[in-house]
Structure 1
Amino acid sequence: MKLKRRNIILSLIVVFALVFSGFGFTKMKALAAEDIRVTTANLNLRSGPGTTYAVIAVIPKGTSVTVQSTVNNWAKVTYAGKTGYSSMSYLVPVSTSVNDFRITTANLNFRSGPGTTYQILVVIPKGTTVNVISESNGWARFTYSGKTGYSSSYYLQKVSAADPVLYTRYTTDELNLRSGPGTSYPILRVMPKGSAVAVHRISGYWAYVTYDGTKGWCHTAYLSTGLSSIATNKGLVDRAGLDIALTFDAGWLFDQAIPILDVLDDYGIKATFFLRAYWVQDHQDLAKEIKARGHSIQNHSLTHPHMNTMTEAQIRYEFTESTKIYSNILGIRPTLFRPPFGEYNSTVLKVAGEQGYPYTVLWTVDTHDWAESINGVTVTTDYIVNRALSNASDNGIVLMHVAYAKTPEALPRIIQGLKDKGYSFRTVAEMLP
């Protein structure tokens, strides 16, 4: 009897072992499935599953990684040839139903819907790799930084899934793209300074990269991690018809703000106001009124200095402090920068890019509304109108100021004249990708 009972117990143990081993096998299969996730912040890659382990790399925000396994709330991933652990709190799943990887060829607006009228969720840096879920009418849908939205397909360059991207780099000078890892190999293309390249692998001092759809090798000495702001004096989105943007700078004067807003309201036009941050601080009600009327408010520095004569630390202070003021007073985060006096250099562009301003915006036509006279010619209302209309161009940006009474006096004639020429009015942000 005891023997029989023991045999029954042994049989049950065997059955349970088989059942649970089956469950274990199923669980292992599930973990083996590809689990691609995107980083929602610049994320530390550590040597072990915890904050006490050493940081071996920093994974940029918006990077896609494959989770190999998990320990508690830590994911084992590989990035830039290094395998380590990152917090699952900053890794969100992305769709893996398609493998349509593309690289942004410009700093690209990521919108809530498929069109320029939809809200900008975030600006994706040039050279970022994304996995497109679907595409329709020139707009691609994908997940970036934990959000699902849309960007123009025109600025998304296809990348083969067979060559995973380790990271993005930027050329520091004109750089030869060669067919092999050495100077003896033929030159396929010459990449302009500042070009974004997707790095697939490294061999010695040579990187195998993709540039503008072409794969080849280039020397790593001329590749940088930096991302500079792009200076432009016009819109970069081509549409049918004629587009133009009216812009107004505010430095110190303020009494023409309401008259300008009233004219824009009369014509149903939304403009772009580049406001000095201390102007916003000194005239908070006016700044809030500009925002309330639906206009775009962008950065025009903190103190309106000659930024091309400043140190990098001084330039950085202009950006960090001005950005705080826009956020604290208006609850906005500008993404466009207009340098005072139109002055900038490579350091200004570098810092602007690092501070989240992908475009440094100049102008196509200066109306000279700020001046009493130019080259001996008196600047009158007629002068301002004629200058704006005669120099108008598609994707143009018109510079005016919140300064003198001549500006709101000239504005109705400028608007009507541009309408008669067939122009549609847009904010600067709407004319950038």
Structure 2
Amino acid sequence: MIKVFNISKIIRLVLFAILILLIINTIFIYSRLTVEVVNQKKLLPIYCVDRDDKKIALTFDAAWGNDDTKELLSILKRFNAKVTFFLVGFWVEKYPEDVKNIFSQGHEIGSHSDKHFHMSRLSEAEIIRDIKSCEEKIMRIIHKRPVVFRPPYGDYNNTLIRTLSSLGYYVIQWDVDSLDWKDLSAQEIAQRVLKRVKSGSIVLFHNNAKNTKYALPIILSSLSKQGYQFVTVSELIYKDGYYIDHQGVQRKIVR
């Protein structure tokens, strides 16, 4: 009887130990899954900035043409507006004098990739090669490294944002789309922008859209009268002590 009792007790202890191990293993697996879910949280670029000082950033993407760049610069100078031009690498190679001219007039030059690919389709290594190639082309001309990046087509994923951040870039989208690339009339472009812009807005234009050069004076004149200041993206955004909320609004951390 004693032997039977001991064997029964041993079996119960073994089963209890197995149960404890199963519980520990379940907790471990759940913890790993939880970490993975957290790590897969959707990362966002900066769409606009939470600020109330009536500063906004006008931006121009340049990839396919150059007919209107000089006229745009002339208009910006007339209104004392500083903006950011996001340049594609092959545009930089094709129009080096215009790159110099943009920079010499006090505007910011950002990267718009080297080849204008859909960046979410690239691996981390491919992203780095593309960004570095565009960066080198810009630096050869203006001797200053860009620190803001706009993904072509507004296409991004977590890999892109993490990679760009590791390279020292801020990934920038927009909260006001002029839709100038759709060949809207100057009045339609102006109405879209004026209706949507607010303090901290980032406005998207293209340097070679059909009617941007006609809409720009209307927009600058109206917003100037409303007390808005036109600054570069780097001047608009917070460089540290910030977070980006679920809508892509960059906000200052209040301590």
TM-score, normalization by structure 2: 0.75
Match of 1:299 in 2: 111
C-alpha distance in structure 2 between counterparts of 1:307 and 1:366, whole Å: 20
Coordinate RMSD, CA, aligned: 2.3
Aligned residues of 1:365 and 1:392 also touching (Cα < 8 A) = yes
SS of the equivalent of 1:370 reads helix
Aligned residues of 2:181 and 2:210 also touching (Cα < 8 A) = no
Q: Which 4+ stretches in 1 moved above 3 angstroms?
A: 221-224
TM-score, normalization by structure 1: 0.45
C-alpha distance in structure 2 between counterparts of 1:347 and 1:431, whole Å: 25
C-alpha distance in structure 1 between counterparts of 2:189 and 2:157, whole Å: 29
Aligned residues of 1:320 and 1:355 also touching (Cα < 8 A) = no
Deviation at 1:252, TM superposition (A): 1.6
Unaligned runs of 5+ in 1: 1-204, 206-217, 373-378
Give deviations 1:222-248, integer Å, cap 9, x for gaps.
599xxx986110124x35x31211110
Would you say 1:431 and 2:230 are equivalent positions? no
Match of 2:182 in 1: 371
C-alpha distance in structure 1 between counterparts of 2:197 and 2:167, whole Å: 32
Deviation at 1:344, TM superposition (A): 0.1
Overall identity of the aligned pairs, in %:
34
Match of 1:235 in 2: 49
Match of 2:203 in 1: 398
Unaligned runs of 5+ in 2: 1-27, 239-255
SS of the equivalent of 1:270 reads coil
Give deviations 1:403-433, integer Å, cap 9, x for gaps.
1341111110000111222212111111112
Match of 1:416 among 209, 214, 221: 221
Match of 1:318 among 130, 143, 147: 130
Bigger strand share: 1
Would you say 1:333 and 2:145 are equivalent positions? yes
Match of 2:57 among 242, 245, 249: 245
Match of 1:362 in 2: 173
AA partner of residue 275 (structure 1): L
Give deviations 1:320-366, integer Å, cap 9, x for gaps.
11111111122110111100010100111111111111x21000111
1:148-297 matches, within 5 Å, as 222=35, 231-236=45-50, 238-239=51-52, 241-297=53-109
Higher relative contact order (CA 8 A, sep 6+): 2
C-alpha distance in structure 1 between counterparts of 2:159 and 2:64, whole Å: 26
Bigger helix share: 2
Aligned residues of 1:284 and 1:329 also touching (Cα < 8 A) = yes
Match of 1:349 in 2: 161
Would you say 1:389 and 2:194 are equivalent positions? yes
